Homo-oligomer: A and B are copies of this chain.
């Protein structure tokens, strides 16, 4: 191999901040219990070393699948953390990703490097290994910022959802109440949802209409200069 670089290298890992929305409704975070040192037995973000022939995102998806069973979800690069000393094994740089998932449609199974994989309410997280607290804080900040300008909130809901579910999602993430009538008017006016001829079932009150996010229509509108904003 030409021009090979012969100096010591940092190790490179990926970590995944996976947010899920529970039915209560609450914003939750997926954490695993580490099976191996360092920090064996402690809670941490799913993640691991990047393979030599693996793209970064591919790596993140693989680790997530191996450690939690979660697959095929919205995943985006978040930030790269590399402060010397953040890993007791020696210099380690981690490329963090964040993911959004609908809790009810994705059962979780601990596997491989993890003894256990569990959802925790984001406001009641256990102490996390490494600098994972900081990574989660960064991810939350990103989520709060991004959810207002891009329609990523739908990733947290089931494919068919009610307007009240959607509103609660924004209320939880943005941590402030929204006006029902104004919210509905605004979101429907965007014309990126399809109203289904289907309704909630099993609720002890009037059943709400179900909606779906129309990705195609959204992409068309984007091209025409449309700006999503809550």
Q: Point out the residues of chain B lying under 8 angstroms from A52, CB to CB.
A: 7-8, 10, 84, 91
Interface string of A183-203 (1 = CB under 8 A from B): 000000000000000000000
Query: A53 to B93, alpha carbons, bound, how many Å?
Result: 11
Which residues of chain B are within 8 angstroms of A91 by Cβ–Cβ distance?
A: 52-53
Which of B10, B49, B53, B56 has a CB less than 8 Å from the CB of A80?
Answer: B56
A126 at the interface (CB under 8 A from B): no
Bound form: Cα–Cα A93–B78 in Å = 15
A135: CB under 8 A from chain B?
no
- Other-chain contact of A10, B4, B12, B37, B77 (Cβ < 8 Å): B12
7 contacts between A and B (CB under 8 A): A5-B90, A9-B10, A10-B12, A53-B91, A54-B84, A56-B80, A82-B95
Contacting residues of chain A (74-103) with chain B, CB-CB under 8 angstroms: 77, 79-80, 82-84, 88-93, 95
Return A39 CB to nearest CB of chain B, in Å.
10
Minimum Cβ distance to chain B for residue A216 (Å): 23
Q: Is the CB of B55 within 8 A of A5?
A: no
Name the residue on B nearest A8 (C-beta): B52
Q: Is A16 an interface residue (CB 8 A)?
A: no
Q: Is A31 an interface residue (CB 8 A)?
A: no
Q: How far is the CA of A79 from the CA of B5 in the complex (A)?
A: 23
- A2–B38 CB distance below 8 A: yes
Nearest CB in chain B: distance from A8 CB, A: 5
Q: Which residues of A contact B (CB under 8 A)?
A: 1-5, 7-12, 37-38, 49-50, 52-56, 77, 79-80, 82-84, 88-93, 95
Docked Cα-Cα span, A88 to B2, in Å, equals 8
Does B12 contact A9, Cβ atoms closer than 8 Å? yes
Contacts known (A12-B10, A37-B2, A77-B79); A84 close to B53, Cβ less than 8 A: yes
Q: How near does chain B come to A49, taking the closest CB pair, in angstroms? A: 7
Whether A56 pairs with B89 at a CB distance below 8 angstroms is no
The 5 nearest A-B residue pairs measured at CB: A9-B9, A56-B82, A3-B89, A80-B80, A80-B95
Decide if A11 touches B11 in the complex (CB within 8 Å): no
